[in-house]
Structure 1
């Protein structure tokens, strides 16, 4: 039977607690989706910091787990049938953790798919658009005199915020009163947009009171506060 030690990634990041779920990540918007979910669910896990400044994500050990060289990735030593499960892509991991525990994702068909549609909304829209805006606004994009790329992503980010703002009217969370993996996927990106990227003025964030209301409720959750700092960069 496959053991945790059979995975090459454990040679670079040894497991001090091989009975726990292993998380390989960095506290970025995509990374903290999984650490927040793990904290919310109360699952035992062991976080490992994947350092981009030393290109850890390009090492053979990391690529053996995620050939797409992106964080986060996990190995659950107690996967389906008791067999270790390696998994990458934050959305897939969120669905897996929710299904494993029966929490953070409705079990009935219609509500489940409603949650999944907003999770996919983040994966296909919010994450890529906000991320590109961050590149052109905060990082190397500043070197481009032509501001049309930045403005394109700013306009699309503003449109996506408008979709969220309209949907959240009269709702505590994306699914109404029920907090789900969809919220865990979306709001770290909103937080990063106005915080780390400093793009709030650029997208007119002040116009989206409903989004900010729910963001503040999200940030007030103890599990979110813990998850935003995991793995520690120290």
Structure 2
């Protein structure tokens, strides 16, 4: 890894499966310190053909690579900036004028779907009854940072167990970043990732309103792994069969 006044050079690796389509990149926390940025800040990333500003998060604590000189980027952003896995890109802190507009991510459309959000799951006994309370609370969060767009969504996820209704809350990362600016205690929560820290903070804040929905970050399923089944008869002999009698 080299650095100069023009930025820091990092090698491109594939994104984590859970980050597909979220319009984020992940880098080593030490690199974030060097750039003087926090979770959710914008960074400028420059490839061989183009550049863009994108939300930056730290590498997952369970990241399997031991190399801190890498950046994890999904295929959509790689195509946008004209780079491939294994190439080197330049990153730097976004300029002040760019940071002043947190909702702007250069050249990337922020769609109305949930890919750029933190997904938190919860449960209650009657979701249709509790939903207005949850939505009112989420609206207060938006108003607190003067956002009047629908940056939060609350919806049933179709699961129901022993009378409990399960639901998901999707919170746009741009709203999370604005909340961190006025609630720095979010980053002080005892958890490794931004998603987990925000979920802990949100759970505590909503509990102060005498509401408890057992909020936590929704688990990301592992990818299905193909394989084959061994035939136990191929590993038995007459002695084994005698022992089983």
TM category (shorter chain) comes to under 0.3
TM-score by length of 2: 0.26
Give the number of the structure with larger relative contact order, counting CA–CA contacts within 8 Å between residues 6 or more apart. Answer: 1
TM-score by length of 1: 0.27
Judging by fraction of residues, say which structure has more strand.
2
Judging by fraction of residues, say which structure has more helix.
1
